[in-house]
Structure 1
Amino acid sequence: MTSPQMLLAIQIANGYGAQPGAWRMPGVDPSSYTDMDQFVRYAQAAERGKIQLVFLADTPALDVDLEREAPHHAIDPLVVLTSMARGTERIGLVATSSTTLNEPFTIARQFKALDVVSHGRAGWNAVPTSHRAAAANYGMTLPARAEKYERAHEVVQVVQALWGSWERDAWVRDVAGKRFADMSKIRPIDLQGRHVASRGPLAIPPSEQGQPVVFQAGGGANGLELAARYASGVYANPFTIEEGRAHRTALRAAAERVGRDPDEVKLFAGFMPSIAPTRRAALDRRRRLDESVDLDQRVTYLGAMLGLHLAPGRLDEPLNARELAAVRPSPADPRSARALEVAREGWSLRDVLAHGVIDYHPVVPGTAADVADHMQEWFQAGACDGFSLAIDVYSDGIDAFVDQVVPLLQERGLFHRDYEEATLRGHLGAPAQYGLDPRLAGAARTSN
């Protein structure tokens, strides 16, 4: 019997990296934001490492100061993934498209088209939008949270019904008989809900995996229910093993309650590795990346996490004995314990911050073995089914992970040595599905 093996997703967003200063790093082309050849190269490197999928998050709004930072997200996720599809063969291609801002027919058409042209490698991250500026770009105001999730359920169901509106054997392509398709097998869906509706059909045949795989990244009880009903992959942001284990347990229980096998739903924990020959070199790499952020503001924030008043301007000093004795980590912030642990090692505040203690995912700055050790500990503790990797700088960081960390994971029996399947659904071990999941038909929130 083979031991369980982790799944890996790699986040590739703006062309530079997960850290704000990535666009200024040596060897980085500052024009990468619009260079599709660069994105294809990153995807090819990830595919060389047998990573299961590329993931592009998206918030359709400008949410950074472009004087100092590059945009957080790609120029358009579907354009980028289509470019990647033409330069790769096996790796999955997943992007976010908002259930709040987009109509289901548009989502269904775009993602099934990507699925067909990539030969069954597409996935849709179905999430509501909470960003007011994004809503304003669509001429909308954000509805209440409960209403957003009610709409999200309807959108997913309509999208999946549209994906199944062209039956598997409808495309006959009978040249001699002058018959392109069997119209008796291409039918409208005629779904009407409270928030969305679509007549259909969608004029796109099935891909090798049938239809795209659904992912989810929402939080709270509403997000858990959405993920449990429809998702095969879930992106999560636990900062500790205990958080990850609790989230995964809750997700699996929720999937079982709606009649699904809990093994169908895979939890990807966010993780931010910075790889270098030594820990000191990795910290220096992150210090260089931190030159683009307001470190004085981060020192103040770090102080609030630790219950201390830390004045700006002392970045190169460690916490003194009096401060360490007075520390009161914030019980509301799971990152606080890690921040205190690092501070107690005697690092300067600049280096404490370089350890990533206030980043939104766990950070490991160190050697390939350090990174592999973190991943092994979390995975074997049941905190996740795999990881969503936010690499600090794509231009050299993806290659470093693929060439240094992946072989260690493979040697330890934690990660596969080659793709066993050709589709994203196959990579995830997700069951076949075409159209709506029949197990959920009784719980549908839309009606004819």
Structure 2
Amino acid sequence: MPSPDAPQILLALQLANGYGAQPGAWRMPGTDPSAYTDMDVLVRYAQTAERGKIQLIFLADTPVLDVDLEQQAPHHATDPIVVLTSMARSTERIGLVATSSTTLNEPFTIARQFKALDIASHGRAGWNAVPTSIPAAAANYGITLPSRQDKYERAHEVVQVVQALWGSWEADAWVRDVEGRRFADMSKIRPVNLRGRHVASAGPLAIPPSEQGQPVIFQAGGGDAGLEVAARYATGVYANPFTIDEGRAHRDALRAAAERVGRDPDEVKLFAGFMPTVAASRRAALDRRRILDESVDLDQRVRYLGSMIGLPLTPAQLDEPLSADQLAAARPSPGDPRAPHALDVAQEGWTLRDVLAHGVIDYHPVVPGTAADVADHMQEWFEAGACDGFSLAVDVYADGVDTFVDEVVPLLQQRGLFHTDYEGTTLRDHLGAPAQYGTDPRLS
């Protein structure tokens, strides 16, 4: 068992549309079909996560309708800030983090919304600062997507202006002197007057500091440009590695980049995306996922699986395993990091329907199995240095969040891998992030 002073796993729970990470979650028994707009349901999930001492809720967001609503629920929340504010008023400790695009939003709007959330939650807010890469989302704002270089130049400018605005009302400016008829010290509430190539703001922001000063910054971009944003500003970084080696390489690169710009690499925490399905057995977990798969196009998925492992698969073979000849001919696609795992699962003799139920083509690693199976995966990745924690995309929120909290969390705690209570009251406390108010003075 790790020593009491050993690092421990950090957990973020993704709560998006009110249903779950799988497309069929809205149709599952026990799920409220109206959960998409029911704040009480969403708040209950946040309260369950808080009961499990999970460090934060994360709402990803892309402001565009990207599914066919005839059969699927929307991917994202109605509005992340509204949902998190609802959660803030009914929870006490758990962090509240949402995406707001640096491409589509002006820095003053971001600064105002997230600092107001930080005040409302008593210092538990975080902002996931990412550019947008989807043309349809840009069209909703009446713009076309800029080049990648311009998007990331703008991202740097937006973060810097937002942080300057957050710090424009100094910590002791709010005097509230009733006898002296003095509300605040205006010498300590000053404009920022920043102008870059892409964005500008005069300021100041008329909101005082929260209990943690200002929101914590997260990042979820890829490539060298995304790594640079993360290294300079982020405390939490969302990543999508499919193997331990991928995760370790990403985390090592992130830590090295943070050190190059003058930050302590321990300040930057990598959250690996993870999709657990917890049940009494592996077979029961696969059966659960097979029901969820009734809402997806399995004909298309089985053909895609074939491209991953180098075989011309058809829907006619869905309920059969690969033949001996197919197994001999199968080769994992070198361009898809999920392919070796997909082939490993197929070689165990499962039908193709069950291979797909293992989540081999999902957007995060999937573990369908017992609570111990899920905890084993998390322990292996964490102890190998592949991540600092996990961003959990639970299959069905209605029962899956409670199951994770009641069955997986205690195992992690027994193994000394996860805390038994919050170490403080703010998100900055939960992540061990240093105090910061305004821009980081270490960065030029």
Q: Please classify the TM superposition score into its range, dividing by the shorter chain length.
A: over 0.9
Matches within 5 A, 1:15-94: 15-94=18-97
Matches within 5 A, 1:42-441: 42-440=45-443
Please give the per-residue CA displacement for 1:346-366, whole angstroms capped at 9, x wherever unaligned.
Answer: 000000000000001000000
- Aligned-partner Cα distance in 2 for 1:312–1:362: 24
- How far the C-alpha of 1:204 sits from its partner, in A, is 0.2
- Aligned-partner Cα distance in 2 for 1:33–1:239: 29
Please give the per-residue CA displacement for 1:234-281, whole angstroms capped at 9, x wherever unaligned.
Answer: 000000000000000000000000000000000000000000001000
- Aligned-partner Cα distance in 2 for 1:343–1:131: 34
- Aligned-partner Cα distance in 1 for 2:308–2:215: 41
- Aligned-partner Cα distance in 2 for 1:421–1:325: 55
- How far the C-alpha of 1:310 sits from its partner, in A, is 0.3
- Give 3-state SS (helix, strand or coil) of 1:170's partner: coil
Residue of structure 2 equivalent to 1:9: 12
- Aligned-partner Cα distance in 1 for 2:384–2:57: 25
- Aligned-partner Cα distance in 1 for 2:369–2:143: 45
- Aligned-partner Cα distance in 2 for 1:295–1:122: 39
- Aligned-partner Cα distance in 2 for 1:186–1:265: 30
Aligned partner of 2:39: which letter? M
- Aligned-partner Cα distance in 2 for 1:29–1:220: 39
Residue of structure 2 equivalent to 1:446: none
Please give the per-residue CA displacement for 1:176-221, whole angstroms capped at 9, x wherever unaligned.
Answer: 1111111110000000000000000000000000000000000000
With 145-154 and 306-315 compared, the bigger mean Cα shift is at 306-315
- Aligned-partner Cα distance in 1 for 2:385–2:88: 32
Instruction: Kindly report structure 1 stretches of 4+ aligned residues shifted beyond 3 Å.
Output: none
Aligned partner of 2:259: which letter? E
Please give the per-residue CA displacement for 1:306-328, whole angstroms capped at 9, x wherever unaligned.
Answer: 00000122210110000000001
- Aligned-partner Cα distance in 1 for 2:290–2:149: 42
- Aligned-partner Cα distance in 2 for 1:173–1:317: 73
- Give 3-state SS (helix, strand or coil) of 1:102's partner: coil
Please give the per-residue CA displacement for 1:144-192, whole angstroms capped at 9, x wherever unaligned.
Answer: 1011000000000000000000000001111111111111100000000
- How far the C-alpha of 1:4 sits from its partner, in A, is 1.1
- Aligned-partner Cα distance in 2 for 1:348–1:312: 12
Gaps of 5+ in 2: none
- Aligned-partner Cα distance in 1 for 2:180–2:441: 35
Please give the per-residue CA displacement for 1:382-418, whole angstroms capped at 9, x wherever unaligned.
Answer: 0000000000000100000000000000000000000
- Give 3-state SS (helix, strand or coil) of 1:124's partner: strand
- Aligned-partner Cα distance in 2 for 1:430–1:54: 17
- Aligned-partner Cα distance in 1 for 2:206–2:154: 24
Aligned partner of 2:329: which letter? A
- Aligned-partner Cα distance in 2 for 1:342–1:46: 31
Aligned partner of 2:242: which letter? F
- Aligned-partner Cα distance in 1 for 2:7–2:166: 32
Aligned partner of 2:246: which letter? E
- Aligned-partner Cα distance in 2 for 1:249–1:105: 33
Aligned partner of 2:127: which letter? W
- Give 3-state SS (helix, strand or coil) of 1:178's partner: coil
Residue of structure 2 equivalent to 1:445: none
- Give 3-state SS (helix, strand or coil) of 2:442's partner: helix
- How far the C-alpha of 1:377 sits from its partner, in A, is 0.1
Aligned partner of 1:80: which letter? V
Aligned partner of 1:168: which letter? A
- Aligned-partner Cα distance in 2 for 1:174–1:71: 49
- Give 3-state SS (helix, strand or coil) of 1:21's partner: helix
- Aligned-partner Cα distance in 2 for 1:179–1:117: 24
- Aligned-partner Cα distance in 2 for 1:225–1:348: 43
* TM superposition score normalised by structure 2: 0.99
